[in-house]
Structure 1
Amino acid sequence: MRDSQRVSQAWKSLQNFGYTPARASEEVARRSKAQSEEAGVCVAYLLSQDFADLARSRTDKEDPTFYDMKDTFFFGPKPIGQEQTCPRDGGAGCALIDTLVPAHRRRCTHFLSWTWGYTLSTVQDGLSTWTAIEGLAPSEVFLFMCFFVNNQYRILSGKQVSAAELEHTFEACLTRAGRMVALLDTWDNPRYLNRIWTIFEQHVALLKSVLVLLCLLLVLLVVVVAVVFVCCLLCCL
């Protein structure tokens, strides 16, 4: 079912409950805004061939970083969502999450702490390993992922969104999700620990008693297990 059909159904339902057209319009706008702001991107979509193909075709790279994707997703010849109305402020240009079909976006279940410097393969490998170990169905996990959820047309243009607003949005989303997934690219000097923002995210998670889950790449997990195994053997000697 398309978003337009969902809105039409919601509109009719509100009118059946005695809402005036003006009040119904306000309620639909309020709900659309909340759903956009509280949405998360589905892990199944992030792991899909469709997303991989989109990233590669847009960047013309086999394993692009999300910085590479940013340049072509939002500033390329055909910016994604640039002509679509934002349900949050009614202006032109929406968050990437708003362009996805409903199956790929729902209320977020986890907050992803990561960096745009990660490659496509790093994110896919890490999330695939994490969901498998945790016994989670990728189709049922929805991540607050800033690349998708924040309206990049407002942020990257340097207009309308202040640092204080971004911080407030981050804290609200983290608290609402209640669980943070920290994605590390390497064990030795990870990129994650070289960014002040990810350190700040960990600090806030600690202050708010938010559960933090570690997400490691499969090869990294194997190395960690091997090191622990060797240490145990040495202790037994």
Structure 2
Amino acid sequence: SSGNQPHFWKGEHLSIAAMQSSDFSFEVASTGWGRVRVRRDVEYQMTFPNGETRARKLKAGEIVEIATIIGIGIFGAIGSYEFKTTAQTVTIRWTGGEWTNMRVVPTDLMAGRVPLRPAEHEAHEEVKRLAKELEEAEQQISQENAFADAARKDFAEKDAARKAAEEEAQRRQKDANAAAQVVKQINLRCKACEARHRELQAALTKAQDVLAEATDKASAERAESGVSLHFLANEFVPELTRHFPGVDVANKTFSELADMLWDSSGQKFAHKTDFLGHASLVDPSDGEAGVSLTTAIWAKNSTNVDKANLFVSWTWQYKVGPLIEALVEHARRNGLAADSLFLWVCFFTNNQRTWLGRHQDGVAVFTANVAKAQRVVCVLDQYQDSLYFRRLWTLFEVFVACIVLNLKVDLAMMDDGRTQLADARMREIAHFLASIDITRARATFPSDEVAIWKQINDVYGGADMMTAKIKELLLKLLNELLLSM
């Protein structure tokens, strides 16, 4: 029949249920077998008594043979159907719709009690066994293929890693070879550098020797240098006035000026005054800042400094202006040009940074310098009660210059002293000379006193002999000065 109601065909040991007979046709082939021709593409699922299910697709016109020993599932055009069997019931589920239960005439087939023929049973079992073996074989093959794929992948990865390692090793070897070449070149350059270093070291040593010799020579020359009288007369006081504005520099004593320039109390350069660079220039003899005034003056204008040709014997208690005036007057009276007269004056020539608070042998230094000057001038502030005769150094200087070294010694006197001398009578001069006592003279540094007295007593016959010689010399010098006035 047709329509949507299910129809049942009964054959020997066969029962088939269908939803839409228009989708297929059924033909009984023999007892226990059926054949279905599909009129359109359908899908169906077969459920076996042991619970196993299998899904299939059929093309239009395809014929499928179905054994009656299992439930039969045939699918219509709308969706898929699932067939399950019990002893008397075929259950059909349409996945696109609802469940429909249909009762079927009990048969041995539906009860599952219809035995197969032995040959069929064996064939069926053999098919099942072979199918199972085939499935297991396929699974094993699949596993083996998976293992093989994994092995091939692992091999490929390891081979790639090996190749990468080989390439890295080759690269590192190449880098090592390049580094070895660089090291070789560096070693060669190092050898060349070592040779060059030896050459430079030898040259440096030689240069240091030359520098040391030049420094010693320069130090000796500086020790022998004198400052131009022209500079003292024309530039010294104006330069001081610029550095100390508002200060009457000309009426300052040299001791006071020393405090302004060096701090003669021992705290050198405490006032930070850099006069012509004397506090900032570096002394090559010791590499420290602070040079003599003569060196600073030379650095500004070398024509103002040259080898000393006149040693000045004087005292730091003299004032700046009167001392310079006395030296200018002395040059005028003796016909000496100021720009060719270079004076060795301890205040200027000695580096007071090293002399103030010194431990040098002043006696030895003085003796060497006065001998090189070849000429000495003694500067008196006045002839009576003169500061000159209170200082042990000045008396020792004039004694050594005239009596010991037999140098030419002149006498210069400041304006007040010349006035006194011009008005004095010979009796007064004689009385003045008689009052000179070298034992009452003093030096600024006790160590100088000790050294000078040692020379006087050990070398020059003692204080009495030295005093007599000085008085004799002064009488001669005063007479010469009076005659020139």
Instruction: With the length of structure 2 as denominator, give the TM-score of the two structures.
Output: 0.40
Which of residues 231, 244, 266 is equivalent to 1:58?
244
Distance in structure 2 (CA, Å) of the matches to 1:105 and 1:91: 22
Distance in structure 2 (CA, Å) of the matches to 1:25 and 1:207: 36
Which of residues 341, 344, 347 is equivalent to 1:141?
341
CA contact (8 A) 1:110 1:143 kept: yes
Alpha-carbon spacing, 1:36–1:189, altered in 2? closer, same or farther (3 Å): same
Distance in structure 1 (CA, Å) of the matches to 2:396 and 2:208: 43
Pairwise mapping of residues 62-73 of structure 1 onto structure 2 (< 5 A)? 62=249, 63-73=251-261
Structure 1 gap ranges (5+): 1-19, 230-237
Quote the offset at 1:106 in angstroms: 0.5
Quote the offset at 1:94 in angstroms: 1.1
Q: AA paired with 1:52?
A: V
Q: AA paired with 2:217?
A: R
Distance in structure 1 (CA, Å) of the matches to 2:417 and 2:255: 23
How many residues are aligned here? 206
Quote the offset at 1:99 in angstroms: 0.3
Aligned to 1:212: 409
Q: Pairwise CA RMSD of aligned residues?
A: 2.4
Distance in structure 2 (CA, Å) of the matches to 1:97 and 1:61: 22
Distance in structure 2 (CA, Å) of the matches to 1:214 and 1:97: 24
Q: AA paired with 1:197?
A: W
Higher relative contact order (CA 8 A, sep 6+): 1
Say yes or no: does 1:28 pair with 2:224: no
Aligned to 2:226: 40
Pairwise mapping of residues 25-174 of structure 1 onto structure 2 (< 5 A)? 25-48=211-234, 50-56=235-241, 57-58=243-244, 60-62=247-249, 63-74=251-262, 75=269, 76-80=271-275, 81-100=278-297, 101-156=301-356, 158=357, 161-163=358-360, 165-174=361-370
Helix, strand or coil: the match of 1:214? strand
Quote the offset at 1:145 in angstroms: 0.3
Distance in structure 2 (CA, Å) of the matches to 1:77 and 1:27: 32
Alpha-carbon spacing, 1:109–1:226, altered in 2? closer, same or farther (3 Å): same
Say yes or no: does 1:191 pair with 2:376: no
If each structure's strand is expressed as a fraction of its own residues, which one has the higher value? 2
Quote the offset at 1:27 in angstroms: 4.4
CA contact (8 A) 1:87 1:94 kept: no
Q: AA paired with 2:396?
A: F
Cα deviation digits, residues 44-79 of structure 1 (max 9, x gap): 11111x211233443822511111211112232324
Q: AA paired with 1:61?
A: D
Distance in structure 2 (CA, Å) of the matches to 1:167 and 1:211: 20
Q: AA paired with 1:111?
A: F
CA contact (8 A) 1:115 1:192 kept: yes
Instruction: With the length of structure 1 as denominator, give the TM-score of the two structures.
Output: 0.78
Distance in structure 1 (CA, Å) of the matches to 2:284 and 2:411: 33
Quote the offset at 1:28 in angstroms: 3.4
Distance in structure 2 (CA, Å) of the matches to 1:85 and 1:184: 35
CA contact (8 A) 1:111 1:144 kept: yes
Q: AA paired with 1:139?
A: D
Distance in structure 2 (CA, Å) of the matches to 1:22 and 1:87: 12
Whose Rg is larger? 2
Distance in structure 1 (CA, Å) of the matches to 2:326 and 2:337: 14
**Larger deviation, residues 83-92 vs 122-131:** 83-92
Distance in structure 2 (CA, Å) of the matches to 1:204 and 1:129: 25
If each structure's helix is expressed as a fraction of its own residues, which one has the higher value? 1
Distance in structure 2 (CA, Å) of the matches to 1:187 and 1:134: 20
Alpha-carbon spacing, 1:87–1:214, altered in 2? closer, same or farther (3 Å): farther
Cα deviation digits, residues 82-128 of structure 1 (max 9, x gap): 22111433332111111012111100001100011111121121011
CA contact (8 A) 2:382 2:418 kept: no
**Larger deviation, residues 89-98 vs 166-175:** 89-98
Structure 2 gap ranges (5+): 1-205, 263-268, 427-485
Q: AA paired with 2:286?
A: D
Alpha-carbon spacing, 1:138–1:172, altered in 2? closer, same or farther (3 Å): same
Cα deviation digits, residues 157-185 of structure 1 (max 9, x gap): x2xx425x221111000011111110011
Alpha-carbon spacing, 1:87–1:21, altered in 2? closer, same or farther (3 Å): closer
